Structure 1
Amino acid sequence: MSVKFLKEKIFSRRAKSAVKPKNAYTVIEDFMKLPVYFYHTIGLNPYELTGSNKKPGIGFNLLFLLHMINANYVLFLEISFVYVSFRNNENFIESCMVMSYIGFVIVGDLKIGAVLLQKQKLSNLVRQMESVFPAPRQKEQEQYDVKRYLRRCLRYTKGFGGLYMTLVITYNLFAICQYSIQKWILHSPHAKQSVPYVPLTPWEWRDNWRFYPTYLSQSMAGYTATCGHISADLMIFAVAIQVIMHFDHLAKSLTEFTVRAQTEEDGADQDLKELQKLIAYHNKILGLTDVMNEVFGFALLLNFLASSTLVCFVGFQISIGISPEMLAKLILILISANSEIYLICNFSQMLIDASGSICYAVYDMNWADADPRFRKMLVVLALRAQKPVCLKATVFLDISIETMSIFLRMSYKFFCAIRTMYQ
């Protein structure tokens, strides 16, 4: 009886271990969770999933309203400070720094506005991606190698998001940490309070209780602008990785396609049906890329315009000689801006390579033994695949790895112009 009991226990354990837990399979939300998280922290829901009845509450909408009012209030102060400085012909170096902040906040605002205006299109894009995403079954997910692409996606998104979070945390905490060290550790009589981004406010905040809400307000504005700035980029990376996964799976399916002998009964018709399914799958992927560029094209254009301006302003400030602590902060900005453009160019190049691999996959098939109708369909498929798929900054720019050199040249020209004006 005890042996029987042990056998039943062993079999029950095996049965439990054979059942996959609910979270064992990858879903599309796993790719999108980081950008969605950053959007949620500022009270913004970027898209709606199929069958989701959850709607943001009043508190969620109030959080978004609070963030936007505060960020634009600080933006107004920054613009006012630059205007007053240029009118009085003073604080030129500090004005250049504040102008960098102005550009960053404006881009964050515009990206958030683009998400609000394109929410329906973004929701449709996510639904289309859901429709072609591998089903939560072990065999299908292994065929697509979903886990590997998810790891790649998280590696890029966490690295990029961590870089910009390091940037905003450094800028938000630098001033108060410097003051605290001088005041409470070094006991310096020359310790002065300063705020992170702009010293101009409607009230006097130095050496009184207003310093702390002023500091908190500007720090929140910096975080809001950063979330608006990077969340759209993280969303682009997540969508691009999934499109690359589909292109790679299609190329693998074509390469491993086994053409049946024409002597087999109904062999050619079965081959044609299977090839038609692959062609329809290719059409869906191409449709995804069109919607992706329609949704994110404006954000991509903003990235190039803002980053080139930011790089030239930062380069100018570095070239005229500044304090070591300010130099470290500017170098962090420079690294972040260049990393953003490089990653966008790199993802677009990966899309170009993945979409172009379909042509090579068609050539590698054993098409020589196929039915003439089959070979004609392959020619059409190969011709369509010869047009590269890439990220597009609206109609102005098709992005590739070569775009990085264009970006650097344009930034250098702006830098030379500002340097000449200063001299």
Structure 2
Amino acid sequence: MQFEDYLKYPDIACRWSWARRLEWPRRGHEKIPFEKLQTVCYYLGSFFMGYQNIGGVVYWCLYALKAKDSTTFIIETAQVFGSLMLTCVGFSKIWCFTRRRHQMELVMAELHDLYPTTRKSFYRLQHHYDWADLIMKYANLFYFAFYIFYNGSPLVLLLWEYITDDQNLSYKTQANAWYPWKVRGSAWGYALAIWVSTMAGNLGIFLTLAILNILCVCTVQLVMHFDGLATQLLSLDSRNPLAHQELKYLIRYHRQLIDISDKVNEIFDSIFLTSLICSTLAICMTSVAVLLLDLAPALKNINGLLAFLVYHFMMSYLGTQINLASEKVLPAAFYNNWYEGDLPYRKMLLILMLRASKPYKWKTIKLSEVSILNYVDTLKTSYQMYACVRSMNL
């Protein structure tokens, strides 16, 4: 099992989002057919995604604020904010991937160099590969289905209204946004709005998927190395004449893993923050919209609700795994036969134990940790906000 095998799904997501895959010296450069066309699509999608955020705010000011009753105001606000959180998350991924791309490539290069050979029995290479492959495979399937439903639901709704001879066609687009041209009642205007939303959605959704896949690769690699470090500490014999050298290597190894983890946290810090804020607001608002809207628009909001639940859960799950893996280092060092070693050996082992006394945690702006517990807190906060908003309609 090679390191390149982990990059299958990140490369697919990058290809779907018109972005170049991550590259470093050991990996080489990939020749892309129609590279200039893909670059144009990438920048067009970025521009349209930025416009979707502005258009969503303008739409809310023009329609929601002028609502004549509280129910209409809440429905319009819930729909706009649900769509706005989707576009905000997509735009944050574009910003992160564009701005932090070089740092991502440096971290992936370090992990590539650190990847163990199959001859080293301390690492469960097949187990960790199967685990990462399973996560990324189902994430790709889920987000592809979300992309199809996100872009197809407005067209299906319009077709249904046309077939049933509805005199008042809705002309709904993917996101509730204002456009500087006529959309309602204009075939060309509606088609252009759908195309703009599709371009923005394609880049936002699949770049989000690419970021999640890259984060998954980094997490599983670090978990594998922490697991291998703990196994090596348990198998270390202090009576061995080479034990001092092996322990020095393991101390440096542990320090290197912490440094790489810090770099990963720095790269994805803004992603963790937007995930926390946008998921909390989106889960609240889309839940309100689901209860107050008719079936067709409610299904659209259910799709967005599921996307945010899965998106935030995946990040929280990966954060929990890195925490659990780093917890193994301290017990492994403690249960080593240190009592049979000399004083310098014990001092070195004590240094390692002090460094490993606090399990590593990914944090959002060094405040809130990224974990399943934080995910539960997010759901609680979303429910409290939902109850508050729902009470306004009673």
User: Structure 1-normalised TM-score?
Assistant: 0.83
Does the CA-based 8 Å contact 1:293-1:392 persist in structure 2? yes
Q: Secondary structure at the match of 2:237?
A: coil
Q: Distance in 1 between matches of 2:184 and 2:302?
A: 29
The 5 A counterparts of 1:240-389 are 240-260=219-239, 267-268=240-241, 270-319=242-291, 321-389=292-360
Residue in structure 2 matching 1:161, options 135, 140, 156: 140
The Cα offsets for residues 26-61 of structure 1, whole Å up to 9 and x where unpaired, read as 22x332332343233333236431253558743332
Instruction: Name the counterpart of 1:402.
Output: 373
Query: Which residues of structure 1 form unaligned runs of 5+?
Result: 1-24, 261-266
The one-letter code of the counterpart of 1:373 is: P
1:123 and 2:105 are equivalent in the alignment: yes
1:59 and 2:37 are equivalent in the alignment: yes
Distance 1:139 1:375, change over 3 A: same
Q: Secondary structure at the match of 1:402?
A: helix
Residue in structure 1 matching 2:24, options 37, 49, 68: 49
Instruction: Name the counterpart of 2:58.
Output: 80
Q: CA deviation at 1:254?
A: 1.2
The one-letter code of the counterpart of 1:318 is: V
The one-letter code of the counterpart of 1:119 is: R
Q: Distance in 1 between matches of 2:269 and 2:231?
A: 29
Distance 1:211 1:399, change over 3 A: closer
Distance 1:304 1:175, change over 3 A: same
The Cα offsets for residues 369-399 of structure 1, whole Å up to 9 and x where unpaired, read as 2222212211211121111112111222122
Residue in structure 2 matching 1:217, options 196, 203, 228: 196
Does the CA-based 8 Å contact 1:153-1:237 persist in structure 2? yes
1:151 and 2:130 are equivalent in the alignment: yes
The Cα offsets for residues 57-104 of structure 1, whole Å up to 9 and x where unpaired, read as 433321211211232334433322111013422653134212211121
Distance 1:218 1:53, change over 3 A: closer
Q: Distance in 2 between matches of 1:214 and 1:318?
A: 24
Q: Distance in 2 between matches of 1:356 and 1:235?
A: 23
RMSD value, Cα: 2.4
Instruction: Point out the more displaced range, 249-258 or 359-368.
Output: 359-368
Q: Secondary structure at the match of 1:106?
A: helix
Does the CA-based 8 Å contact 2:269-2:364 persist in structure 1? yes
Distance 1:356 1:281, change over 3 A: same
Instruction: Point out the more displaced range, 300-309 or 341-350.
Output: 341-350
The Cα offsets for residues 252-297 of structure 1, whole Å up to 9 and x where unpaired, read as 111122343xxxxxx43x1111111111111111111111111111
Q: Distance in 2 between matches of 1:369 and 1:133?
A: 32
Distance 1:190 1:86, change over 3 A: closer
Q: Secondary structure at the match of 1:43?
A: coil
Residue in structure 2 matching 1:190, options 155, 160, 166: 166
The 5 A counterparts of 1:131-146 are 131-135=113-117, 138-140=118-120, 143-146=122-125
1:174 and 2:186 are equivalent in the alignment: no
Distance 1:103 1:387, change over 3 A: same
Q: Secondary structure at the match of 1:134?
A: coil
The 5 A counterparts of 1:5-20 are none
Distance 1:194 1:345, change over 3 A: closer
1:415 and 2:393 are equivalent in the alignment: no
Does the CA-based 8 Å contact 1:39-1:228 persist in structure 2? yes
Q: CA deviation at 1:401?
A: 2.6
Q: Secondary structure at the match of 1:37?
A: helix
Distance 1:204 1:315, change over 3 A: closer
1:26 and 2:26 are equivalent in the alignment: no
The one-letter code of the counterpart of 1:413 is: Q
User: Structure 2-normalised TM-score?
Assistant: 0.88
Q: Distance in 2 between matches of 1:305 and 1:194?
A: 27
Q: CA deviation at 1:181?
A: 4.8
**Relative contact order (C-alpha < 8 Å, sep 6+): which is higher?**
2
Instruction: Point out the more displaced range, 322-331 or 360-369.
Output: 322-331
Q: CA deviation at 1:207?
A: 5.6
Query: Which residues of structure 2 form unaligned runs of 5+?
Result: none
Distance 1:338 1:194, change over 3 A: closer
Distance 1:60 1:326, change over 3 A: closer
Does the CA-based 8 Å contact 2:44-2:199 persist in structure 1? no
The one-letter code of the counterpart of 1:108 is: G
